[in-house]
Amino acid sequence: MQSVAAALDRLAEAASSPTVAKLAEAFERAGHELALVGGPVRDAFLGREMNDLDFTTDATPDEILAIVKPIAEAHWDIGRAFGTIGAKVAGETVEITTYRADAYDGDSRKPEVVFGDSLEADLTRRDFTVNALALRLPKLELVDPSGGVEDLVARVLRTPSSPERSFGDDPLRMLRAARFASQLGFEVDDDTTQAMSDLAPEIDRISAERVRDELGKLLLTDAPRPGLRLLVDSGLAARVLPELPALRLERDEHHRHKDVYEHSLTVLEQAIDYEGERAVPGRPDLVLRLAALLHDIGKPATRRYESGGAVSFHHHDVVGAKLARKRLRALRFDNDTVAAVSRLIELHLRFFGYTDGAWTDSAVRRYVRDAGDAEQLERLHILSRADVTTRNRRKADQLAFAYDDLEERIAMLAEEEELAAVRPELDGQQIMKLLDITPGPVVGEAYKYLLEVRLDEGPIGEDAAADRLRAWWAARGA
DSSP state letters, 67-103: HHGGG-SEEE-TTGGGTEEEEEETTEEEEEEESEEEE
Over residues 304-316, the pLDDT tens digits come to 877 777 787 888 9
Which pLDDT belongs to residue 59? 94
CA atoms of 391 and 176, how far apart (whole Å): 34
CA atoms of 342 and 277, how far apart (whole Å): 24
**pLDDT < 50 regions, the chain:** 250, 252-257, 478
To which H or E segment does residue 349 belong? none
Over residues 53-106, the pLDDT tens digits come to 899 999 999 999 999 999 999 999 878 888 899 999 999 999 999 998 655 555
Question: Rg of the chain over CA atoms, in angstroms?
Answer: 28
Q: What is the pTM of this model?
A: 0.83
- Cα-based distances in Å from 241 to 153, 175, 231, 399: 33, 12, 9, 31
Which pLDDT belongs to residue 111? 59
Residue 140 falls in which region: left (phi positive, over 0), alpha (psi -120 to 50) or beta: left
| Cβ–Cβ < 8 Å for 284, 334 | no
Smallest Cα–Cα separation from 219: which of 188, 240, 247?
240
Which pLDDT belongs to residue 154? 95
Q: Which domains does the chain have, with CATH numbers?
A: 1-153 (3.30.460.10), 155-241 (1.10.110.30), 242-421 (1.10.3210), 428-477 (no CATH)
Which pLDDT belongs to residue 256? 47
Mean of the per-residue pLDDT values of the chain: 88
